[in-house]
Amino acid sequence: MRKLVTQIYESVREGSSLADALTAHRSVLPPVYAGIVRAGEAGGSLGAVLSRLAEYLERGQALRESVRSAFVYPIVVLVMAGLSVTVPYAVVVPQLAPLFADAGQALPLAAEIVVGFGDALRDYWWLAALAVAGLVVLARTQLRQAAPRYRWDALVLRMPFIGDVVAKNEVARLSHTLATLLSNGVPLLTALPIVGDAVGNRVVAGGVESIAKSLNEGKGLAEPLGNARLFPKLAAHLVRVGEETGRLEEMLLTVADIYDSGVRRAVERMLALLVPALTIALGAFNAAIIISMLSAILSVYELPL
């Protein structure tokens, strides 16, 4: 960060505008930053524009932090679930295997599966770790490419619960970014490509590009927004009201508020279902391990189960 600020300072010192200095670092700074600053420089209100940009960034950060905080408890549950499954398989089950081997009796199928999986986990855990690391690297590499990233983003939007959260988050981000640009004097035709770059989901970004093409044909914002199936009807209706009353920026901020709240509620509902489901699944899985081991022990000593 120190290096970045120094480079921006040197560019401005050499006669570049602040917007151009920010544009030179597109790989680090999103285009929306430069677009807002450029509008402030053109209108002679750079100080006020920077304050609004700070508010825009703080709002986005607050939403991200609230979502991350909501996921802390499920992540802890997932980690403990992984440990509670791995420890019996890797430590307890292999210690019981010699008992069954000395008895010289065939184990029940469920016990054979448990013992075999435990031996494989103990002997080849490193291979499983390498496989997981390889899959992560492969996924990250593929998602940097346009076509795989587009297919993945389309799949995410179709997922139950998750797709709804992502769609609402993208609508909120799009609305707030566009409102911030328009309120700082950026023309709508200039603002939409910047908004497309700011949107994280490539499918939604493609919808923004189609809306920009419709605007070039002389249509308003509400009509193509309503025709795009990616965007809710409520958002299109509020944008239409904003265009007709000359309060488009205010209505876009209202849309952002509505869908910010929708993201929080959707995350809360999803977690309310996820945590009990994980607990039940974990209990059932561990119960299956215990029952299979008990059945094997009882069969060794020829006791009725």
Q: Are residues 37 and 73 in the same domain?
A: no
Task: State how many domains the chain has.
Answer: 2
Identify the helix (H) or strand (E) that includes residue 63. Answer: helix 46-70
Q: Is residue 172 part of a domain?
A: yes
Q: Are residues 28 and 117 in the same domain?
A: no
Q: Note the pTM of the prediction, 2 decimals.
A: 0.70
Give the residue among 156, 184, 201, 298 at the shortest CA–CA distance from 252.
Answer: 184
Q: Are residues 131 and 239 in the same domain?
A: yes
Q: Residue 20 sits in which domain range?
A: 1-44
What is the DSSP track for 234-257? HHHHHHHHHHHHT-HHHHHHHHHH
Q: Are residues 33 and 167 in the same domain?
A: no
**Alpha carbon distance 275, 70 (integer Å):** 11
Give the residue among 123, 91, 96 at the shortest CA–CA distance from 111.
Answer: 96
Q: Are residues 169 and 230 in the same domain?
A: yes
What is the DSSP track for 102-166? HHT-PPPHHHHHHHHHHHHHHHHHHHHHHHHHHHHHHHHHHHTSHHHHHHHHHHHHHSTTHHHHH
Q: Is residue 14 part of a domain?
A: yes
Q: Are residues 2 and 136 in the same domain?
A: no
In one letter, which amino acid is 120?
A
Q: Is residue 176 part of a domain?
A: yes
For residues 173 and 127, the answer to whether their CB atoms sit within 8 Å is no
Q: Are residues 8 and 90 in the same domain?
A: no
CATH of the domain at 253: 1.20.81.30
Residuewise pLDDT in 10s, the chain (305 residues): 899 999 999 999 999 888 889 888 888 888 778 877 887 787 777 888 888 788 878 877 887 787 777 778 778 877 887 777 777 766 766 676 666 666 555 566 666 777 777 777 777 778 878 998 999 898 888 888 888 888 888 888 888 878 888 888 888 888 888 888 888 777 888 888 878 777 778 888 888 888 888 877 777 777 787 777 777 888 888 888 888 888 888 888 888 888 888 888 888 888 788 778 878 887 887 787 778 777 767 766 654 44
